Structure 1
Amino acid sequence: MAPTERTTGRRYPERVTHDREAAYAILDEALVAHVGFTTDDGPVVIPTLHARDGDRLLLHGSAHGRAMASMGSGIEVCVTVTLLDGLILGRASSHHSGSYRCVMLYGRATVIEDVRERTELLNRIVEGIVPGRLTGPNAARPAGPDEAVHTAVLSLPIEEFSVKVRAGFARDEPKDDGVEAWAGHVPFRLVAGSPVPDAITGTRFPGPDLATLRGVHPGA
């Protein structure tokens, strides 16, 4: 993917790539996307769960809400997806940073009007986050067309994007080599706790397989 004016890295360009597979890997691991758009009342940014379907990003929300109506009207939107991998601590305060992988995506979303397709995509979003949730034994009931009419699904083409990755250690300066402070990297990861069943479920069914959850590691 060739960079555009707004996806060209200017600060630390060596951290920026436009590799499609790198972008897909981040989008497929992350659970939350932040979507920015402009309204008559000013700019708005909302968090939402998302899913990737080939070369498009699927976003969903209330069919009766302002966000879906605004974004579905064809205005420009900006989506950012970030994985915070840790903290980078330097010997000087000014060299502290975060370790992260981030995708920034620009484009115009289109509304999935066909209710059958929308129903299928809503179920695909659930399956993409909790694999096996709608299949196999003890599966949850999939969404039906009567429910899909209340939830909008937007399709955003993954065309104009950039990927930025920050890793490693702090960019400490030689003048701080003698500072007697710990410096290094504190890694983070998203960990799932033990599933807590509701009153009806009780102990009748096993909980979800934490190892299959998107972007989540089983707890200790």
Structure 2
Amino acid sequence: MTDNSFLVTDRNKVKRTPLRGAYDREAVYAVLDACQICHVGYVVEGQPYVTPTIFWRDGDTLYWHGSSASRMLRTVKAGVDVCVTASLFDGWVMARSGFHHSANYRSVMAFGKAAPLETEAEKDAALKLMMDGLFPGRWEEIRPATKQELKGTTVVRMEIDQASAKVRNGPPVDDDEDYALPVWAGVLPARQVCEAPVADPKLNSGIAFPENLAGYLPK
């Protein structure tokens, strides 16, 4: 545990295979920053819900947004307890027994209370932060948001009170006596890849694919 780690309590402590857990901000943020989608968990009148959404991070703060009519956003902006999870699947782990088959993954669970951004300027700045993180240079190319669009959009921020990361990587861990079995074992790696861009059918002729999106071209 370092001074740059989140406080560990029963709420965020990794109990199952605790050696895979990490609480330092560097480990937690490495996973969050590699994800595009998170799942927001909350309770409405005793009924739990989990809503997937795009999110972004600035320091110890998570942001997400959506329609002002969204049940999830109307609920969490009231200051209820929120649990945000994000995960990445890195491959199947093939063992010599069914019991020890597994998956390699990176995941984070973060806790806090969400609050809405109230002014148009706050919303605009937060949305620019999202765009700059995903597509550097894009914000300057596109039309600015209108007052009506900002009014119809809710943006919330959540200061991360506590968080933990949990990561599994590497080969299978079999029972000692099973290593002699004539069974193939190892890892089937998996990763998300970008495919070739597909232009909008209504795109005006002569508009080239922007250089600032080159990172999204197939490798």
C-alpha contact 1:192 1:210 (8 A) present in aligned 2: no
Stretches of 4+ aligned residues off by more than 6 angstroms? none
1:104 Cα offset (Å): 0.2
Q: Corresponding residue for 1:156? A: 158
- Cα shift readout 1:7-63 (whole Å, capped 9, x = no counterpart): 112111111010101111111111100111111261111110000012100011111
* Aligned counterparts of 1:145 and 1:102: Cα–Cα separation in 2: 37
TM-score (norm 2): 0.90
Extract unaligned runs of 5+ from structure 1: none
Once the two structures are TM-superposed, the CA of residue 179 in structure 1 deviates from its matched residue by 2.4
Cα distance in structure 2, aligned partners of 1:126 and 1:165: 28
Q: CA deviation at 1:67?
A: 0.8
**Within 1, Cα distance between the matches of 2:165 and 2:48?**
23
CA distance in 1, matches of 2:165, 2:17: 12
Residue 174 to residue 93, structure 1, CA distance change in 2 (3 Å): same
Structure 2: segments with no counterpart, 5+ residues: 1-5
- 1:81 pairs with 78, 83, 86, which one? 86
Which residue number corresponds to residue 113 of structure 2? 108
Deviations 1:74-119 (A, max 9, x none): 1111100101111111111111111111110011101111121112
What is the CA distance between 1:206 and its match in structure 2?
Answer: 2.9
Q: 1:41 to 1:4 in 2, by over 3 A?
A: closer
Q: Report if aligned partners of 1:122, 1:148 keep a CA contact under 8 Å in 2.
A: no
Aligned residue in 2 for 1:178: 180
* Percent identity of equivalent pairs: 38
Which residue matches 2:30? Answer: 25
Alpha-carbon shift at residue 144 of structure 1 (Å): 3.5
- Distance 1:89-1:210 versus aligned 2 partners, 3 A rule: farther
Of the candidates 1, 6, 9, which is equivalent to residue 4 of structure 1? Answer: 9
Q: Deviations over 1:154-211 (max 9, x none)?
A: 1111221001110011111122123222111111111011000012226522335555
Aligned-residue offset at 1:130: 2.1
Residue 169 of structure 1: aligned partner? 171
Q: Distance in 1 between matches of 2:91 and 2:36?
A: 17
TM-score, normalised on structure 1? 0.90
1:56-205 alignment to 2 at 5 Å? 56-135=61-140, 139-201=141-203, 204-205=206-207
State the SS of the aligned residue for 1:134: coil
Aligned-partner Cα distance in 2 for 1:8–1:151: 35
Two-structure CA RMSD over aligned residues (Å): 1.7
Letter in 1 for 2:28: A
Q: Secondary structure at the match of 1:48?
A: strand
Q: 2 CA distance for matches of 1:41 and 1:18?
A: 30
2-side partners of 1:90 and 1:65: how far apart? 44
What residue is the counterpart of 2:49 in the other structure?
A: 44
The alignment partner of 1:58 has SS state of strand
Q: Matched residue pairs, number? A: 213
